[in-house]
Amino acid sequence: MRTLDCRGAHPGRHAPPTLEELRREVSRIAGRDIAMTQPRWLDRFSDVTRLARTFRAGRVFLAGDAAHVHFPIGGQGLSTGVLDALNLGWKLALAVRGRAGAGLLDTYDAERRPSAQRVIDNTQAQLALMRPGPELDALRTVFRSLLLTDQESGRRLGDLISAQDTVLPAPTGDGGPAAGTFLANLALTTEAGDTDVIELLQEGRPLLLLLGDGASVTSTGRVPGAGR
């Protein structure tokens, strides 16, 4: 059970939380007295926000909460940390094996720090919308109208919160407009028959899609001539 009060800094925020404090807050929100006994774990969080100046210093790499801390909303801290590890893991593996190209490890900071900054920006924006007060009512009204009437705005916000909007920089500038973006689960037609991206990834191995000459994504998401 979690409660949230966006009215301002809690006067006892540096003290360990107590069951009575949680009970009072839950009772206030529920509008009636709520009995509580035998808590297993109590903790408190805040909107403290920090971002490391760099995610790499020589042989030291920062990831997850060591690199970025922000208001915990939507599980974005966990997702961002997992993506940090995913980005860094294979690069370290190549470096350990002596197969990493010059500057490969430097791309970790170049790719992941901007992503963490976007998470910090959007969590701060969400928190601003959650703060009570009539001065923000107009902003909430406009924002609500956009979400209800503009599907594209809703999709973009969903991609932002899920990190699906991540675009990694292309060092060579090649690859087309989709380079560095998340690949959707496209339906594919191959020599072996119909399949899709998720099915081809079931083996847990790197996957290379070689699209046939003139191949393009149709309105049904099918890519003619795609091969494995």
Please report which confidence band the pLDDT of residue 72 belongs to, taking 50, 70 and 90 as the band edges: confident
Query: What local confidence, expressed as pLDDT, does residue 58 receive?
Result: 93
Q: What is d(CA 28, CA 193) in angstroms, rounded to the nearest whole number?
A: 60
Hey, what are 151's tokens?
Answer: 């599907």
Tokens 């046939």 locate to 212
Please report which confidence band the pLDDT of residue 23 belongs to, taking 50, 70 and 90 as the band edges: very high
**Confidence check: pLDDT of 219 > 80:** no
% the chain with pLDDT above 90: 42
Q: pTM higher than 0.85, yes or no?
A: no
For residue range 128-142, what is the model confidence (pLDDT) as tens digits? 888 888 888 998 999
Query: What local confidence, expressed as pLDDT, does residue 216 receive?
Result: 45
**Confidence check: pLDDT of 228 > 50:** no
Query: What local confidence, expressed as pLDDT, does residue 213 receive?
Result: 62
**In the predicted model, what is the mean pLDDT of residues 34-45?**
94
Query: What local confidence, expressed as pLDDT, does residue 220 receive?
Result: 37
Please report which confidence band the pLDDT of residue 217 belongs to, taking 50, 70 and 90 as the band edges: very low
> DSSP letters along 101-160, please?
PTTTTHHHHHHHHHHHHHHHHHHHHHHHHHS-SGGGHHHHHHHHHHHHH-HHHHHHHHHH
**In the predicted model, what is the mean pLDDT of residues 185-198?**
87
Query: What local confidence, expressed as pLDDT, does residue 114 receive?
Result: 93
Query: What local confidence, expressed as pLDDT, does residue 61 receive?
Result: 97
Specify the range with the lowest mean pLDDT, choosing from 33-42, 48-57, 178-187: 178-187
Query: What local confidence, expressed as pLDDT, does residue 171 receive?
Result: 66
CA distances to 111, 139, 178 from 170, rounded to whole Å, are 10, 36, 10
Query: What local confidence, expressed as pLDDT, does residue 111 receive?
Result: 93
Please report which confidence band the pLDDT of residue 207 belongs to, taking 50, 70 and 90 as the band edges: confident
Q: Which residues contact 174 (CB under 8 A, 6 or more apart)?
A: none
Query: What local confidence, expressed as pLDDT, does residue 121 receive?
Result: 92
**In the predicted model, what is the mean pLDDT of residues 174-195?**
81
